Chains A and B, each alone.
Chain A
Amino acid sequence: MSTSPTPTNQLGLTRQDYTGGKSTLCVGCGHEGITLQIIQAAFELGLESHQVAKLSGIGCSSKTPAYFLKNAWGFNSVHGRAAAVCTGVALANRSLKNLLVSGDGDSMSIGLNHFTHLIRRNVPVVYIIEDNGVYALTKGQFSATADQGSALRWGQVNELQPLDPCTLAMELGCGFVARSFSGNPKQLNTLLKAAFAHPGTAVLDVISPCVTWNNHESSTRSYQSAKNREIPLHELGFIPAFHTPQVDIPAGEAQEVAFPDGSRITFRTLHDDYDPSKLTEAWRLVHESRDRGELLTGLLYYQPGKPTIHEVMKTAPTPLTQLPQSALKPGPEALQEIMDELK
């Protein structure tokens, strides 16, 4: 009896090879959809797991690196400061692909300072914010991204203005800013693949409903609310640097943007006037759309050319962790020279 062969990627690995441990999140959690698409994107891209560093802070979202890419090293660090850990990892070993998973509490409150400076420095990382508008692990307090007027399950209404990770990232000069919805796997998958091709900081704010604390009728972060309000900006396609026959390119007139590694993202605009390469216009449209209560998703802004931290700092092309002692420890003559200067 023959069975159809399990699909493999260009490394000969199956999708199973990119999975992780058993999730302990609530059944139906939005984060699970993101985990699935990380696994799928890594599989499709043929990432070498050992070359991926998974970084996270504290919270439900930050637990998820245990649930994907079991053969990648991961660091579930402290609340809000995975960006700083990631900066250290990037400086130490520039050959690693950094994947940071954070939440709205983790990134927009306790870790906001580090989030902003990570972007400012353009540290190479795919930075995912699994955005559910609440602190779920401490049982449902509002986070800083909660929409004004959104209510908690027991009726408390958020009166404060939300922070928007995407417009903030745009303002900070981030070269890749995207918003997606964990209930839109196709778009999320494409954006994740494109984010991995981006050489600097790529921010993905993914609306990810919390089924336990924030999925009721009066919440603006429920599956239903997100589904009702979502307006995809464009139909996206991603063409990796290597060519495979299964590339999913949207039909019709499509624009194309190339990344430095040779891969390309294609998109067919669904929204009038939207050009994600024009910062101020993009920023204005995202704002206006938000004011209308819409949830604009897609690649909101891209500018792949901005120099990364490595280019700015002129760090050696060889990862610093791989330099031999001869490159690290100056010889006795160097010490002699320095001592002589001080005599």
Chain B
Amino acid sequence: MTTVNEFSIEVATVNGSGSQTANNVLLRAIFQMGMPVSGKNFFPSNISGMPTWFQIRVSRKGYAARKPEIDLMVCLNPETAEQDLAKLPPGALCIYDEPLNLGGRRSDITAFGVPFQALVAASCPEMKYQRLVKNMVYVGVLVRLLGIEPEEAGRALGRLIKGKAEAMNRAAMDAGYQWALANLPDQGKLLVQRLPVEQERLLIDGNTACALGALFAGVTVVGWYPITPSTGVIESLTEYAHPYRTDPTTGASTIAILQMEDELASAGVVVGAGWAGARAMTATSGPGLSLMTEFIGLAYYAECPGVFVDVQRVGPSTGLPTRSSQSDIKLCAKASHGDTLHINLYPATMEECFRFTYDAFDLAERFQTPVFLVSDLDLGMQNWITSPFAYPEGKLDRGKVLDEAALKEVQAWGRYKDVDGDGIPYRTLPGTPGGKGAYLTRGSGHNAQAAYTENPAEFAEGILRLKRKILGAAPHLPLPIQVDNGAKRGVLAFGSSDPAVQEAMDILREAHQMPLNYMRVRALPFAEAVGDFLRSMEVVYVVEQNRDGQMAALLMEFFPQEAPRLRSVLHFDSTPITAQTIVDQILSQEM
């Protein structure tokens, strides 16, 4: 059976060996042939010497979720070779490093031994580089085996590797290609064939998309602390800030990106800068966000704008730093002691990582509050195909700020007075001349005039206004995406579960005659449409990548009457969710 443009590859190597570059060349070559393709790197929390796997899914149907059934395995890691071989389904192909001797171990698969060391030794005379370019040999082998156009592989390599390394890697790739040409039979099982490209596409990771959103939103102050998997957001922003936010004549920077002593201080920088009138942000992950919660509560209560990007990894505690999850939903929704609710945005695509980050700055200043971009490792660190981003037109929304002229017109200004009835007060910025508008911001109890108060009625009035303010943001946030298949049952999901949900819905419809309606939630507080959707369905499966059904709990809090309709589909073993997981859990609950 020929499987053209619909299969999965897994490459098992050791981290720190240059395999990531080789994998990206392979991914990009397939991408350049017009194919929908996705790559997932399963890397250890380690610098070198530990097992790492890279999965490439080629799917003409456009499915981008993880597919656990591997059609072609590349075994280069002696430590994991046994288990890598064992997990292959019958009929699969396997390429292995010859000394591993995997041929003949399983009669139900086809395995080819490749003399990687000999090939790399012949193509790379400099011993010290052999280890690093060895992985490029399997790229050459796969180019030949899968019918990938060699010119595209060459072009991909040229884009990803520059300088002296380019020639060495090219030689290694060519050695693999020539060896496969001479020694491997044509296989008719797995093939990549060029597809016509109907629209412009590009490859990007979510962290870069997020950084670009911040860049175009005019971020001016960034306080941050390195933490996997969020570090790429700031590294990418730093890289783009150089050409796009430096004054060419003076060399002065219009953005201040400062690595802080910890996440507490990073959040402090965001709060201080936001208070002073800057567009401020940080990017972090679970443990960092835990440390930031004190300042987030202050920002919520004292009403300071700021953007917090959370690239979720697996918790609790240190957890699995290099694995993905959706287990900070509760934390991002309510970070801080006391009563709070934060504006959360849940991107599911690269365009949304870009646009939602951009929007987060407008929302933070419009609503004078911390805004969370709730991403995850799967979105943030993996490469995804996307259409080019649309330019975010229009003016930056700086919110209700009274400048010197406006202050002259105002009779009795109060920092926390709800003048417009929307819960959003008017703020003033330090440094405003004219002798009006100064006040003392405090995290302690305060009244509409920003004065300290222990008066019960004034205190209650303040936190009720805050609730009104944040709930009032719902219509201004990205609305949910709905797919109506005329079904009585539905699925609700968010973020990086989306590709698996879409695939699962196809499987349920095609193989189990079970069409489902779909709602993808994109923001908290929930839009009214979310409640409408729940009410309109007999049963709603809430799909999320955490143990406790954190999103389902939020839905029950907002829509308690609909709680009996909700059923959780949960995935929390640290791997990205698959379509089959969703299908199986839905079917088992239909019994």
Interface residues of A, Cβ cutoff 8 Å to B? 48-51, 53-55, 65-66, 70-78, 81, 83-89, 91-93, 95-96, 113-114, 116-117, 121, 309, 313-317, 319-321, 323, 325, 327-330, 332, 334-336, 338-339, 342-343
18 A–B contact pairs at CB < 8 A? A75-B442, A78-B294, A81-B264, A81-B295, A84-B267, A87-B268, A88-B276, A89-B275, A91-B273, A92-B256, A93-B429, A113-B262, A113-B264, A314-B251, A317-B250, A328-B220, A334-B244, A343-B202
Report the minimum CB–CB distance from B205 to chain A (whole Å): 10
Complex partner residue of A71 from B217, B267, B435, CB under 8 angstroms: B435
Complex partner residue of B430 from A87, A89, A114, CB under 8 angstroms: A89
**Complex contact B262–A50 (CB within 8 A):** no
**Complex contact A50–B432 (CB within 8 A):** yes
**8 more A-B contacts (CB under 8 A) besides A50-B435, A66-B452?**
A77-B271, A77-B272, A84-B267, A88-B273, A91-B223, A114-B268, A313-B258, A328-B218
Within 8 A of A (CB), among B254-279: 254-256, 258, 260-262, 264-279
Query: Which residues on B sit within 8 Å (CB–CB) of A53?
Result: 276, 430-431
Taking the complex as formed, is B433 at the interface, i.e. its CB lies under 8 A from any CB of chain A? Answer: yes
**Complex contact B276–A87 (CB within 8 A):** no
**Complex contact A66–B440 (CB within 8 A):** yes
The CA of A71 and the CA of B434, in the complex, are separated in Å by 10
Query: Which residues on A sit within 8 Å (CB–CB) of B276?
Result: 53, 88-89, 92-93, 96, 321
**Complex contact B431–A84 (CB within 8 A):** no
Report the minimum CB–CB distance from A55 to chain B (whole Å): 8
The CA of A83 and the CA of B264, in the complex, are separated in Å by 11
The CA of A313 and the CA of B257, in the complex, are separated in Å by 8
Complex partner residue of B431 from A51, A315, A323, CB under 8 angstroms: A51
**Complex contact B431–A319 (CB within 8 A):** yes
Query: Which residues on A sit within 8 Å (CB–CB) of B247?
Result: 316
| Cβ-closest 3 pairs across A and B | A84-B268, A88-B272, A328-B218
Complex partner residue of B433 from A50, A316, A342, CB under 8 angstroms: A50
Taking the complex as formed, is B537 at the interface, i.e. its CB lies under 8 A from any CB of chain A? Answer: no
**Complex contact A87–B258 (CB within 8 A):** yes
**Complex contact B264–A328 (CB within 8 A):** no
Proximity bits, B443-455, A CB within 8 Å = 1, else 0: 1100000001000
The CA of A313 and the CA of B270, in the complex, are separated in Å by 17
The CA of A317 and the CA of B252, in the complex, are separated in Å by 8
**Complex contact A339–B389 (CB within 8 A):** yes
Proximity bits, B434-470, A CB within 8 Å = 1, else 0: 1100111111100000001000000000000000000
- Are A117 and B244 also in contact (CB < 8 A) when A92-B278, A92-B280, A314-B252 are? no
**Complex contact A91–B221 (CB within 8 A):** yes
The CA of A96 and the CA of B430, in the complex, are separated in Å by 8
**Complex contact A81–B268 (CB within 8 A):** yes
Complex partner residue of A329 from B240, B260, B396, CB under 8 angstroms: B396
**Complex contact A320–B278 (CB within 8 A):** yes
The CA of A317 and the CA of B249, in the complex, are separated in Å by 13
Report the minimum CB–CB distance from A112 to chain B (whole Å): 10
Query: Which residues on B sit within 8 Å (CB–CB) of A92?
Result: 220-221, 256, 272-274, 276-278, 280
**Complex contact A328–B273 (CB within 8 A):** no
Query: Which residues on B sit within 8 Å (CB–CB) of A72?
Result: 430, 438
Report the minimum CB–CB distance from B563 to chain A (whole Å): 36
**Complex contact B269–A87 (CB within 8 A):** yes
**Complex contact B429–A88 (CB within 8 A):** no
Complex partner residue of B268 from A77, A330, A339, CB under 8 angstroms: A77
Taking the complex as formed, is B204 at the interface, i.e. its CB lies under 8 A from any CB of chain A? Answer: yes
Report the minimum CB–CB distance from A114 to chain B (whole Å): 6
The CA of A264 and the CA of B438, in the complex, are separated in Å by 31
Complex partner residue of B438 from A71, A316, A332, A339, CB under 8 angstroms: A71
The CA of A334 and the CA of B243, in the complex, are separated in Å by 10
Interface centre among A314, A328, A343 (most CB of B within 10 A): A328
**Complex contact B280–A330 (CB within 8 A):** no
Query: Looking across the interface, which residue of chain A has its beta carbon closest to that of B396?
Result: A325
Query: Looking across the interface, which residue of chain A has its beta carbon closest to that of B272?
Result: A88
Query: Which residues on B sit within 8 Å (CB–CB) of A328?
Result: 218, 220, 254, 279, 396
**Complex contact B278–A91 (CB within 8 A):** yes
Within 8 A of A (CB), among B201-242: 201-204, 212, 215-218, 220-221, 223, 240
Query: Which residues on B sit within 8 Å (CB–CB) of A84?
Result: 223, 260, 264-269, 272, 295
Report the minimum CB–CB distance from A307 to chain B (whole Å): 14
The CA of A54 and the CA of B298, in the complex, are separated in Å by 17
**Complex contact B438–A70 (CB within 8 A):** yes
The CA of A117 and the CA of B429, in the complex, are separated in Å by 26
Complex partner residue of B254 from A327, A336, A342, A343, CB under 8 angstroms: A327
Taking the complex as formed, is B395 at the interface, i.e. its CB lies under 8 A from any CB of chain A? Answer: yes
The CA of A121 and the CA of B223, in the complex, are separated in Å by 13
**Complex contact B261–A114 (CB within 8 A):** yes
Query: Looking across the interface, which residue of chain A has its beta carbon closest to that of B244?
Result: A330
Query: Which residues on B sit within 8 Å (CB–CB) of A73?
Result: 428-431, 438-441
Report the minimum CB–CB distance from A99 to chain B (whole Å): 12
Query: Which residues on B sit within 8 Å (CB–CB) of A95?
Result: 431
**Complex contact B272–A335 (CB within 8 A):** no
Query: Which residues on B sit within 8 Å (CB–CB) of A315?
Result: 252-253, 256
**Complex contact B275–A75 (CB within 8 A):** yes
Taking the complex as formed, is B90 at the interface, i.e. its CB lies under 8 A from any CB of chain A? Answer: no
Taking the complex as formed, is B200 at the interface, i.e. its CB lies under 8 A from any CB of chain A? Answer: yes
The CA of A165 and the CA of B428, in the complex, are separated in Å by 34
Complex partner residue of A85 from B216, B252, B261, B271, CB under 8 angstroms: B271
Report the minimum CB–CB distance from B238 to chain A (whole Å): 12
Query: Which residues on A sit within 8 Å (CB–CB) of B430?
Result: 50, 53, 72-73, 89, 93, 96
Query: Which residues on B sit within 8 Å (CB–CB) of A336?
Result: 388, 391
Query: Which residues on A sit within 8 Å (CB–CB) of B275?
Result: 75, 85, 88-89
Query: Which residues on B sit within 8 Å (CB–CB) of A89?
Result: 272-273, 275-276, 430
Complex partner residue of A88 from B203, B253, B270, CB under 8 angstroms: B270
Query: Which residues on A sit within 8 Å (CB–CB) of B428?
Result: 73
The CA of A243 and the CA of B95, in the complex, are separated in Å by 84
**Complex contact B272–A75 (CB within 8 A):** yes
**Complex contact B223–A88 (CB within 8 A):** yes
Query: Looking across the interface, which residue of chain A has its beta carbon closest to that of B265?
Result: A84
**Complex contact B431–A75 (CB within 8 A):** no
Report the minimum CB–CB distance from A18 to chain B (whole Å): 12
The CA of A71 and the CA of B278, in the complex, are separated in Å by 21
Query: Which residues on A sit within 8 Å (CB–CB) of B433?
Result: 48, 50
Interface centre among B204, B265, B432 (most CB of A within 10 A): B265
**Complex contact A93–B256 (CB within 8 A):** no
The CA of A96 and the CA of B277, in the complex, are separated in Å by 12
- Are A329 and B264 also in contact (CB < 8 A) when A50-B433, A87-B269, A321-B277 are? no
Within 8 A of A (CB), among B342-360: none
**Complex contact B223–A87 (CB within 8 A):** yes
- Are A96 and B431 also in contact (CB < 8 A) when A114-B265, A315-B253 are? yes
**Complex contact B431–A91 (CB within 8 A):** no
**Complex contact B201–A343 (CB within 8 A):** yes
Report the minimum CB–CB distance from A113 to chain B (whole Å): 5
The CA of A65 and the CA of B438, in the complex, are separated in Å by 12
The CA of A75 and the CA of B415, in the complex, are separated in Å by 13
Query: Which residues on A sit within 8 Å (CB–CB) of B202?
Result: 339, 342-343
The CA of A170 and the CA of B278, in the complex, are separated in Å by 32
The CA of A289 and the CA of B529, in the complex, are separated in Å by 72
Query: Which residues on A sit within 8 Å (CB–CB) of B269?
Result: 84-85, 87-88, 91
The CA of A338 and the CA of B279, in the complex, are separated in Å by 22
Interface centre among A74, A86, A95 (most CB of B within 10 A): A74
The CA of A88 and the CA of B274, in the complex, are separated in Å by 8
**Complex contact B261–A117 (CB within 8 A):** yes
Report the minimum CB–CB distance from A100 to chain B (whole Å): 11
Query: Which residues on B sit within 8 Å (CB–CB) of A309?
Result: 258
Query: Which residues on B sit within 8 Å (CB–CB) of A48?
Result: 433
**Complex contact B268–A88 (CB within 8 A):** yes
Report the minimum CB–CB distance from A13 to chain B (whole Å): 10
Complex partner residue of B221 from A96, A113, A320, CB under 8 angstroms: A320
Query: Which residues on A sit within 8 Å (CB–CB) of B279?
Result: 328
The CA of A54 and the CA of B272, in the complex, are separated in Å by 11
